[in-house]
Amino acid sequence: MLEFIDSMNQKVVLTFDKTKYEHSGHVLILPRYRSKWVLMHHKVRGVEFPGGKIERDELSVNAAARELYEETGAVASVHSFKHIAQYKVIRKPEIIKDVYVVEVDDIESSDLADDSIGYLLVDHIDDVLITDRSHLLEDHCIRYIVRRLDEV
């Protein structure tokens, strides 16, 4: 397990060990389309990876597919989502997120979620202007995962 401190000065614990996974309530999706990262532009926070809450009685992977589509219009088969990690934000209440990577099949124009302005395609997350980035795109834990994926 790896530990980080987030922008709110909260401890974040990351694991890639599936035997350490706990029941999660949120998902984070790291999607690629034609070798580029697919990011969403959140109306309030700025540019970030798509993600969100898992609905009651919804599987984590189904939530990942739903959130990806709602926030970016990106489409991918549920079977192509790869659960690569999980992280926990130590606070009250705790936030536990399942992290998925997926190769997007297509991006459709769709009615996006109310909190989404649209999507961006970038080669590297640092291609996004600092002033446009959500604090989540600056998160040390998320950046660690992205760096690890970029090295593969």
How many independent structural domains does the chain possess? 1
Tell which residue, 54, 29, 59, 55, has the closest CA to residue 119: 29
Predicted local distance difference test score (pLDDT) of residue 111: 74
CATH number at residue 129: 3.90.79.10
**Torsional sign, CA 28, 58, 32, 111:** negative
Predicted local distance difference test score (pLDDT) of residue 68: 95
Q: In this predicted model, what pLDDT tens digit does every residue of 5-63 receive, in sequence order?
A: 988 899 999 999 998 999 999 999 999 999 999 999 988 999 999 999 999 999 999 99
Mean pLDDT of the region 64-79: 94
Question: Could you tell me the residue range of the domain that residue 62 belongs to?
Answer: 2-151
Q: In this predicted model, what pLDDT tens digit does every residue of 85-132 receive, in sequence order?
A: 999 999 999 999 999 999 999 998 777 777 778 899 999 999 999 999
**Torsional sign, CA 56, 109, 100, 104:** positive
pTM over 0.85: yes
pLDDT band for 144, please (50, 70, 90 cuts): very high
How far apart are the C-alpha atoms of 75 and 67, rounded to whole Å? 10
